[in-house]
Chains A and B, each alone.
Chain A
Amino acid sequence: MSERFKKIFENNNPKTKLVSYFVGCYPTPEQSFELIKQAIDNGVSILEIGYCTSEASAEGPVIKAAHDYVLKNGYTLKDTIKLVEKIRDYNREVGILLMGYIANLYKYPINKFIDDIKKAGADAVLVVDAPHELKEENELRDSLNDNGLSLIKLAAPTTDQKRLEYIVKISSGFIYQVNVSGVTGVKSANETDVANFVKRIKSLTSIPVCSGFGIKSPEDAKKVANSGCNGVIVGSTFVKYIQDNINAPDLTQSFGKQVQSFSEVLK
């Protein structure tokens, strides 16, 4: 597991970590970097940097539109890895994970991808459509572990007990707890369900749990944090903010305030 993740979760400040998802290179690599700097300066502990694919099967309309925008402008996974390198130069403490689909990694291919992201300073990878049944997941997981990096695994509301026991066994870094059955940014998380699910995972493992999907406001974030999870993941809400204010001259500064409104309630 990544040393950096260990440090992040061992530190009691903030009490609950803010994990935020960005579509890498959205709207441009330069703006993306500026927005991410704001996120770091305003209390984000872990960055999920998304790379894009046209057939993303778990993205709701907001993130899909951002993916399509980046693909249309020709930015690739390589550009996103360059972005990670710049972020790491800017800040040594923030956790960085690359998040996306197996399509791009298979073609990269996987061994070269791991070399490149390690050099760039990433800590972990999350591949949405790579369950442990997939050969490429096994290859990716082994190789990440050998390199001191983490493969972040998902646990969903549909995940049965036997699967969950196996998933926590092969997890490293943290477990991404998916709060609702659905695509990103549509359904809202239910407080009681989230709390029960966190409890279910925590009874099996000491690995940190970060809870995501359906967290749309600082109030939601606060409620989810009360469930006892170690981190709260905000994705579509931030991407939508960027989307809605894409032409605003003060986007970078106002986005910083938006992030702060979430990190404040998690201290």
Chain B
Amino acid sequence: MTKNSLKTGPDELGYYGEGKSAMGGMAVGETLMPALHELNQGFEKAIKDKEFLDQFAYYCKHYIGRPSPLYFAENLTKELGGARILFKQEHLNHTGSHKITNSLFQVLLAKRMGKKSLICESGAGQHYSATAAVAAKFGMPLIGVMGEVDIARVNQNIIKAKHYGAKLKAVPGTLKEAITDAIKTWTTNPDFAYICGSVVSAHPFPKIVAFAQSIIGREIRVQSLEQEGKLPDMIVGCVGGGSNFAGAIYDFLDETNISKIGVEASETAALTNGTPGIMQGMKTYMLQTDDGAKSLGGMSLGAGITYFSVGPLHSYLKDQKAVTYSSATDQEMLEAYKIIARTEGICSALEPMAAAAEVIFRQAKDKPKDYTICLSLCGRGEKDLDTIQEHIGKDFE
């Protein structure tokens, strides 16, 4: 890592970049500041402890099932007739998404730091069910906070988390409201560990989550070299808070010859349509009223990417022009879902179908056959089956 590297991470106060345009920081109440500093110190110590890292690696392999395969999507590649498409199969991880890697890392960290109880927030319920699984495994009680709209649409994750022994706190709304309430719940219980589900919120969470998820990109490197004899030419992933995509690209940030495209839901495309603001602990691009008083943004079919804001690392990478950010509509996501189900026999979650739509409709076709695109398939579709059936049944058949 050199000084000019995009991988040097945030400074000690959590800023990506310098001066007034720096993103991130620590915008929370005084009650939580000591806990955030304690967490940062705990994290920095833990990642220098070989025994801790070995333990994380052990459970990544034996509990989660990592590495997730890098799979050549032969039929989809043929159908599109352009670039060679590879799926990073994060949906094959235990509990069905990339989220569990971060849950595992943070729960192990909480244990190492002597914490007794856990709090988490969730949008699609993937982070909630993943954290609940790990909490059960390591014998720690968990309170998950979710929006009522999401609880209704991702019922399977709620049921699973209940079986794992987690408690659910319902708040009106979606992921945005869940994040604000999780901070309140933590403020009320500052001795708990807050297991943040994405590269969002106050420092050091964006740094910790990016660290845990960066295993995705390191696996892509090894697998691509081994299977393809070269690195991918392009990496594409969906972005809500942005943890799976941050994890997929982190290892490649200084390799400018690899294109990187993050895809948000068009209803909540903070990086395309937003401006810098400070809410929910961080300075970052977000959709809000001009006076900064109200968060904005509509509803996407992808619960996990229905988020008016985005992790500060992504805002920084956008400003540095190191990564391209785009967006996809609900209809594009559903079309992409149908194509991937039909060609590859994979029932994907709707969130990564935003990234798939970018690949299928805008990137793959006009590329040469030796151009490889790695698409992060970060979650499986069981949680979305009701939504998918309702919309595909009504609108497309």
Interface residues of A (CB under 8 A from B): 51-60, 71, 76-78, 101-108, 128-131, 133-136, 153-160, 163, 167, 178, 181-183, 186-187
A53 CB contacts on chain B under 8 angstroms: 279, 292-294
B33 touches A157 (CB 8 A): no
A104 to B277, CA, bound (A): 9
B184 touches A158 (CB 8 A): no
Q: Given A55-B176, A57-B180, A134-B25, A103–B292 Cβ distance below 8 Å? A: yes
Chain A proximity mask over B323-343: 1 for CB below 8 Å, otherwise 0 = 000000000000000000000
**Can you show 22 pairs from A to B with CB atoms below 8 A apart?**
A55-B176, A55-B295, A57-B183, A58-B29, A77-B293, A103-B278, A103-B288, A104-B291, A105-B292, A106-B278, A129-B278, A134-B13, A135-B22, A155-B30, A157-B31, A158-B31, A158-B190, A159-B33, A181-B31, A181-B187, A181-B190, A187-B188
Asked if B26 is at the interface (CB within 8 A of a chain A CB), the reply is yes
Asked if B379 is at the interface (CB within 8 A of a chain A CB), the reply is no
A154 to B290, CA, bound (A): 28
B190 CB contacts on chain A under 8 angstroms: 158, 181
A27 to B35, CA, bound (A): 36
A57 touches B30 (CB 8 A): no
Interface residues of B (CB under 8 A from A): 13-15, 20, 22, 25-35, 176, 180, 183-184, 187-190, 277-281, 283, 288, 290-295
Most buried by A among B22, B33, B35, B292: B292
A160 to B34, CA, bound (A): 7
B294 touches A71 (CB 8 A): yes
A129 touches B281 (CB 8 A): yes
A183 to B180, CA, bound (A): 12
Closest chain-A Cβ to B176's Cβ sits at a distance in Å of: 7
Given contacts A57-B183, A77-B293, 5 further A-B contacts (CB under 8 A): A55-B180, A103-B293, A104-B292, A156-B29, A158-B34
A163 to B33, CA, bound (A): 10
A158 to B292, CA, bound (A): 29
A231 to B164, CA, bound (A): 48
B34 touches A106 (CB 8 A): no
B279 contact from A103, A134, A153, A163, Cβ within 8 A? A103
A186 to B188, CA, bound (A): 9
Q: Which 5 A-B pairs have the closest CB atoms?
A: A107-B292, A182-B188, A154-B30, A156-B31, A103-B292
A54 touches B294 (CB 8 A): yes
A181 CB contacts on chain B under 8 angstroms: 31, 187-190
A134 touches B27 (CB 8 A): yes
A107 touches B290 (CB 8 A): yes
A57 touches B184 (CB 8 A): yes
B15 CB contacts on chain A under 8 angstroms: 135
Residue of B nearest to A51 (CB): B293
B293 contact from A71, A160, A163, A178, Cβ within 8 A? A71
Closest chain-B Cβ to A248's Cβ sits at a distance in Å of: 27
A186 to B30, CA, bound (A): 17
B291 touches A107 (CB 8 A): yes
A76 CB contacts on chain B under 8 angstroms: 291, 293
A51 to B176, CA, bound (A): 20
B29 CB contacts on chain A under 8 angstroms: 57-58, 128-129, 131, 154, 156
B277 contact from A103, A131, A134, A159, Cβ within 8 A? A103
B27 CB contacts on chain A under 8 angstroms: 102, 129-131, 134, 136
A105 to B291, CA, bound (A): 8
B30 CB contacts on chain A under 8 angstroms: 131, 153-156, 158-159, 167, 178
Closest chain-B Cβ to A67's Cβ sits at a distance in Å of: 9
Closest chain-B Cβ to A264's Cβ sits at a distance in Å of: 31
Closest chain-A Cβ to B106's Cβ sits at a distance in Å of: 20
Closest chain-B Cβ to A185's Cβ sits at a distance in Å of: 12
Residue of A nearest to B13 (CB): A133
A54 touches B22 (CB 8 A): no
A131 CB contacts on chain B under 8 angstroms: 26-30, 33
B277 CB contacts on chain A under 8 angstroms: 103, 106-107
Closest chain-A Cβ to B321's Cβ sits at a distance in Å of: 23
